[in-house]
Structure 1
Amino acid sequence: MHATLQYLLDLLDLEPIEQDIFRGESHASVIPRVFGGQVAAQALVAACRTVPDDRLPHSLHSYFLRPGDPGARIVYTVDRIRDGRSFATRRVVAVQHGQAIFTLSASFARPEEGLEHQEPMPDAPDPESLPPAEELLPRYADLFVDPGVVDLLLQARQAIDLRYVNEPPFGTAGSPREPRAQVWFKLNGELTGKQDNAVAHLCIGTYVSDMTLLDSVLLAHGRGGWMTGDTVGASLDHAMWFHRPFRVDEWLLYDTDSPTSQSARGLARGRMFTRDGRLAVSVIQEGLMRVPR
């Protein structure tokens, strides 16, 4: 197992410090705040720790309230809102320096049979035909506001094999395109033993879901984002629906688009498909999108 993958797994293994209170480490960030996907994933881990094993999260809704401090630990407090016969609901608040930085509500359910359909998986080239991020990112070093961004991004993504289907927004700045983006991703390693469980796959999927979701908004306006300095952005809220089981150590296609942006806020939608075409996850996020003056 790659050391950075083990670090990611350790990051999601929260320390229990009291009944329904947990503490998590912060990940070194390429920007002066905690990565939003990390906070969302850790909050979901905390919620899962308080729910019976026969119930898994089927949806979450969250708000990013303040920038997280990457140099400080985060405390997660869980409220057990309801435990029904089939469903359970939890509310989680993430706190740093005595202030709430993030809040999440998650609903859990027992698996059961019912009506089933899904929209088809969109076309995409095989992931093996695409270069991994560690080969792609250095090509754009001259476009970044700081050449050191490449090394920091590669360190942050070593645990995840991420492959862009099309040119990323920082590679097409100045040329507006269709507001749609696709990436393939999977872990750089395999989950085994106690680490191989449904909750781990769901929480790592939550972590990755915030990595490239707003790319489609940037593409619509020919913007490169914070890495090129032409846009200042941040996640505002984040919602996910978990439809079918999936493994994050097998390829998943993350297909995203943006129906609108306005008032310095961009809306992005995402769908995660397994390689055999099953729709596993739906995601919606609104992000702050400001143009520096």
Structure 2
Amino acid sequence: MSASKMAMSNLEKILELVPLSPTSFVTKYLPAAPVGSKGTFGGTLVSQSLLASLHTVPLNFFPTSLHSYFIKGGDPRTKITYHVQNLRNGRNFIHKQVSAYQHDKLIFTSMILFAVQRSKEHDSLQHWETIPDLQGKQPDPRRYEEATSLFQKEVLDPQKLTRYASLSDRFQDAASMSKYVDAFQYGVMEYQFPKDMFYSARHTDELDYFVKVRPPITTVEHAGDESSLHKHHPYRIPKSITPENDARYNYVAFAYLSDSYLLLTIPYFHNLPLYCHSFSVSLDHTIYFHQLPHVNNWIYLKISNPRSHWDKHLVQGKYFDTQSGRIMASVSQEGYVVYGSERDIRAKF
């Protein structure tokens, strides 16, 4: 694998922050745009804002929710500066606000709630949405297929690619198409999509697929060289947070994952081919974390599209842990996505 392809899956490098002060950080590398887009990937902003805030809270606090807004399109040619503001420090909860700037202009903001980790002996009213049949489940090859091979069959097949080219000029560029393949094959996320993912003729209110993060991330709390208790007091503010030394990096990785192939799935619910939009931008992004997301295991995702109206589309996702069958996180995102008329898209395709 080439160095450039290896870099695509190096999440730590993609998200790495350099401290400017105890509450201010700047990206070490330029924020890349996703394939087919000119602006910074929204998942980068969401996950880096969470990573920046984690550098300002004690080790025994974990994120429980994140509410964010995309205010201005990110510029992939310029580094991003993040400022973390402390709103409230309590015994059980910490509230942070993170603001992201480029060219001295606010481009993104998030509010993040952290809760102290309870002891395992804590007993209270408990309920989890659960899919019992999911426990230990692997994607069924009769229904799901690895994203790279599915994309090559359902989009890059010469006859089908001609149809996509009638929708957008980007499908007439072989170099752009190779970037899609590389993103599926070498990117941070690995997908198992339903076989009708790219163009479904079914009338359905729900789409499901499997996803996981390729780079290894520890699930051991306070791992690494500083694992001894006298060095890693739970109220200590961490000097560094990496995939190797802090299990909370799973939340960061999940935040990155949660913005990928969520808004893009809107056509699936309307019997239209994916990638048929003419313009797309995220407006907001909300995550409720229900448990530590083990992102290196397959995650089962159920997506719905409750409302599409006047080019504003609401997409919601429920993410389930395939080891326990329990809900892991809930995500909502609204986007401004422009499509032509359904009749015209079908006529061209």
Does the TM-score normalized on the shorter chain lie above 0.5?
A: yes
What SS class does the counterpart of residue 82 from structure 2 fall into? strand
Gaps of 5+ in 2: 219-223, 225-241, 342-349
| CA distance, structure 1, for counterparts of residue 40 and residue 86 of structure 2 | 26
Which of 194, 197, 204 aligns to 1:165? It is 194
What whole-Å deviation, never above 9, does each CA across 1:198-219 have from its counterpart, x for those lacking one? 2211111111111122245322
Quick check: 183-192 or 244-253, which moved more? 183-192
Q: Distance in 2 between matches of 1:249 and 1:103?
A: 28
Greater mean deviation of Cα atoms: 53-62 or 122-131: 122-131
Taking every aligned residue pair, what percent have the same amino acid on both sides?
A: 29
Candidates 59, 67, 71, aligned match of 1:65: 71
Question: Is the contact made by 1:251 and 1:275 (CA closer than 8 Å) also made in structure 2?
Answer: yes
Q: 1:152 to 1:123 in 2, by over 3 A?
A: farther
Q: Distance in 1 between matches of 2:133 and 2:337?
A: 29
TM-score (norm: length of structure 2) = 0.76
> Residues 146-157 of structure 1 correspond to what in structure 2 (within 5 A)?
146-147=170-171, 148-157=175-184
**In the alignment, which of 318, 336, 344 is matched to residue 288 of structure 1?**
336
Residues 129 and 326 in structure 2, CA contact (< 8 A), matched pair in contact too: no
Corresponding residue of 2:98: 92
Instruction: Say if 1:289 and 1:118 are closer, same or farther in 2 by CA, change over 3 A.
Output: same
Distance 1:136 1:286 in 2: 27
TM-score scaled by length of structure 1: 0.89
Q: Which residue of structure 2 aligns with residue 52 of structure 1?
A: 58
SS at match of 2:217: coil
Q: Is the 8 A contact 1:63 1:104 kept in 2?
A: yes
Matched, 1:202 2:251: yes
| C-alpha distance in structure 1 between counterparts of 2:313 and 2:9, whole Å | 34
The answer to whether the 8 Å contact 2:292/2:328 transfers is yes
Give, in whole Å, the separation in 2 of the partners of 1:234 and 1:177. 26
Are the aligned partners of 1:179 and 1:219 in contact in 2 as well (CA < 8 Å)? no
Structure 1 residue 18 displacement after superposition: 2.1
> Could you say which residue in structure 2 is the equivalent of 1:220?
269
Q: Residues 218 and 153 (structure 1 numbering): CA distance in 2 closer, same or farther, change over 3 Å?
A: same
Q: Which amino acid aligns with 2:150?
A: L
Matched with 1:104 is: 110
Q: Which amino acid aligns with 1:171?
A: Y
With 127-136 and 234-243 compared, the bigger mean Cα shift is at 127-136
CA RMSD of aligned residues (A): 2.3
Residue 117 of structure 1 corresponds to which residue in structure 2? 127
Q: Secondary structure at the match of 1:44?
A: helix
Structure 2 Cα separation of the partners of residues 274 and 180 of structure 1 = 18
Structure 1 gap segments, 5+ residues each? none
Q: Across the two proteins, how many residue pairs are aligned to each other?
A: 288
1:258 is displaced (CA, Å) by 1.2
Report the counterpart of residue 217 of structure 2 in structure 1: 191
Corresponding position of 1:179: 205
1:233 paired to 2:285: no
Letter in 1 for 2:70: F
- The partner residue of 1:17 within 14, 17, 20 is 20
- Greater C-alpha radius of gyration: 2
CA contact (8 A) 1:179 1:216 kept: no
CA contact (8 A) 1:137 1:150 kept: no
- Runs (4 or more) in structure 1 with deviation over 6 Å come to 122-125
Q: Secondary structure at the match of 1:186?
A: strand
Give, in angstroms, the shift of residue 93 of structure 1: 0.7
CA contact (8 A) 2:199 2:272 kept: no
